[in-house]
Chain A
Amino acid sequence: MELFLKIAAAAVFILMLFYLWPAYKHWQEHGPKAQKGDWQAALLPLGAVVVFVIVLIMAVR
């Protein structure tokens, strides 16, 4: 049962890769390019998430 589920999960994840490929191609080729300050605006909340997760890890240790 376990092995069957592992193989099925791997097959579905590989299927998901094929499903994601057109979306990836679309956003790579037609997606808007970052303007000045865009990455800074995105990395600020993502950095806050990283710090928050570290705080949560410290809380369980």
Chain B
Amino acid sequence: MANPGFTVARTAQSAISTNKVLKNTYLLLAATLGFSAITAMLSLALAVPPWAYMASVIVAMVLGIFVLPRTANSSAGIGMIFLITGLLGFGLGAILSMYLALPHGPQTVGLAFGGTATIFLGLSGYALTSKRDFSFMGGFIFAGMMVVMIAIVANIFLQIPALSLAISSAIILLMSGFILFDTGRIARGEETNYIMATYGIYLSIFNIFVSLLQILGIMGDD
């Protein structure tokens, strides 16, 4: 016969562990976003050229694919995630300086920033309060990401503005789906590594911000 006391203790332990991952994820997310803001300001102050954005994204992606998963279970993972997010922030500064130089640039940047924060907080709040399992979206999201990757590679060389707009719109939808998917997984205790959880949510926020900036820049006649 199952021991009900043991089951309750196990359930409580699991809930505490899930809450710990959730708390650590949001603390690390706040710290990495703050660090990105600092490196973006540094990049703005240094007036780095636009190609620095692409160079930073390339290095950050390589580190994210090859190094972060190997270091995520050790303290080195913390340093690695700060390096990656710092690099992405530094690259972001290069494109922010381009947007800020436009006639309505500061307004566009402000709207993209506020819009990203609203989308992230709204979706996270929804995923945490609804307690729904969004894992069924996994196959759909990853298939969508692969299609978008192929379109991005094509548009690196084709440089078609309409395709660029379509890619940005698709990225916002897919990253919104990722926020629901990732937050749901953390809330249900399926993600136990807060460094990888932070990296996933950070990338979603970063991609939504860059895509929103691009959409508002194109549609705002600037």
Contacts and interface: CB of A to CB of B under 8 A. Distances in A.
Asked if chains A and B come from one complex, the reply is yes
Interface of A: 1-2, 5-6, 8-10, 12-17, 19-21, 23-24, 26-28, 31-35, 38-39, 41-42, 45-46, 48-50, 52-53, 56-57, 59-61
Main secondary structure of the interface of A (DSSP, over half): helix
Interface stretch (B14-22, B34-42, B73-81, B103-111): B103-111
A18 B51 CA distance: 25
A46 B119 CA distance: 10
B215 A57 contact: yes
Contacts of B142: 20, 23-24, 27-28
A27 to B, nearest CB: 3
A50 B157 CA distance: 28
Main secondary structure of the interface of B (DSSP, over half): helix
A9 B54 contact: yes
Interface string B80-120: 00000000000000000000000010011001100100110
A46 B94 CA distance: 30
Given A10-B157, A16-B65, A27-B142, A61 B220 contact: yes
B139 interface: yes
Contacts, number: 123
B11 interface: no
B182 to A, nearest CB: 13
B11 to A, nearest CB: 21
